[in-house]
């Protein structure tokens, strides 16, 4: 019912939308399939070795787009990332999740669960989870995929008897800050940075 309302609203708002929907239907693809694609479901699964190349490419693309003036990718960044991902994949404490729909990878999360000691070593060891990276491909953003990945990771970390989950995110990225806050994360220690 909601999808029907959305279709009616879109066609009333702008004739261009109606025209583009007509083009889709001329491809012998029923409008119901288009609307289903628009509201597609995503599943979260454990990563496999076959996912590593897609993760590598997406992560390197991301690194190139957000690097500051003092950060440049190494000439061998691709092979270094491949080696690091393979090493991480083999580690038993690693956590890797893939979000997909119709066999298309929409995003990933990489983390780890381990016993950590403080520096200096004055606190008792504690079991925590660390979320190292969450990435959602641009065409799949704003659909709750990142949140589903985070929720699934927290579920796995909790099941491993961890007492907390940590992550880092770009402080200048308002969307990332809001997403992590909605997931229940709050700043604890701030890593500040100054260019010289």
Rounded to the nearest 10 degrees, the angle between the axes of helix 145-159 and helix 174-182 is: 40
The per-residue pLDDT for range 10-21, each reduced to its tens digit, is 333 333 333 333
Instruction: Tell me what pLDDT residue 171 has.
Output: 82
The per-residue pLDDT for range 72-112, each reduced to its tens digit, is 889 999 999 999 999 999 999 999 999 998 889 999 999 99
Distance CA 188, CA 166 (A): 9
Share of the chain above pLDDT 70, in %: 79
pLDDT surpasses 90 at 170: no
Distance CA 79, CA 56 (A): 9
pTM for the full predicted model: 0.76
Q: Can you list the pairs that 143-149 forms with residues at least 24 positions away whose Cβ atoms lie under 8 Å?
A: 143/42, 145/42, 145/99, 145/106, 145/107, 146/107, 146/179, 147/179, 147/182, 147/183, 148/42, 148/44, 148/99, 149/44, 149/97, 149/99, 149/107, 149/108, 149/109
User: Which of the four CATH numbers 3.40.630.30, 1.20.1260.10, 3.30.499.10, 3.40.50.300 does domain 42-182 have?
Assistant: 3.40.630.30
User: Smallest Cα–Cα separation from 110: which of 181, 47, 66?
Assistant: 47
Cα distances (Å, whole numbers) of residue 118 to 109, 115, 183, 192: 25, 10, 25, 20
Instruction: Tell me what pLDDT residue 114 has.
Output: 95
Instruction: Tell me what pLDDT residue 144 has.
Output: 92
The per-residue pLDDT for range 137-156, each reduced to its tens digit, is 999 998 999 999 999 999 99
Sequence-ordered list of residues with C-beta below 8 angstroms from that of 112, at least 6 positions apart, any chain: 88, 91, 93, 94, 95, 129, 130, 132
Instruction: Tell me what pLDDT residue 40 has.
Output: 63
The per-residue pLDDT for range 39-79, each reduced to its tens digit, is 568 999 999 999 999 999 999 998 888 767 788 889 999 99
The domain locations on the chain are 1-39, 42-182
User: Smallest Cα–Cα separation from 107: which of 157, 54, 154?
Assistant: 54
pLDDT surpasses 70 at 6: no
């Amino acid at each position: 019912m909601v999808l029907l309302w959305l279709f009616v609203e879109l066609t009333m708002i702008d004739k261009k939308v109606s025209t583009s929907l007509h083009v889709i239907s001329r491809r012998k693809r029923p409008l119901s399939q288009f609307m289903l694609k628009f509201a597609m479901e995503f599943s979260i699964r454990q990563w496999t070795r076959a996912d590593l190349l897609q993760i590598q490419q997406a992560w390197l693309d991301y690194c190139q787009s957000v690097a500051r003036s003092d950060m440049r990718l190494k000439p061998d960044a691709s092979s270094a990332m491949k080696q690091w991902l393979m090493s991480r994949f083999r580690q038993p404490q690693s956590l890797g999740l893939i979000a997909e729909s119709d066999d298309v990878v929409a995003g990933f999360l990489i983390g780890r669960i381990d016993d950590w000691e403080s520096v200096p070593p004055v606190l008792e060891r504690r079991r925590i989870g660390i979320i190292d990276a969450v990435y959602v491909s641009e065409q799949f953003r704003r659909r709750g995929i990142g949140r589903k990945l985070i929720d699934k990771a927290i579920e796995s970390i909790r099941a491993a008897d961890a007492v907390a989950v940590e992550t880092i995110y770009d402080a200048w990225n308002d969307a990332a800050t809001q997403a992590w806050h909605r997931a229940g994360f709050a700043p604890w220690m701030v890593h500040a940075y100054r260019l010289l």
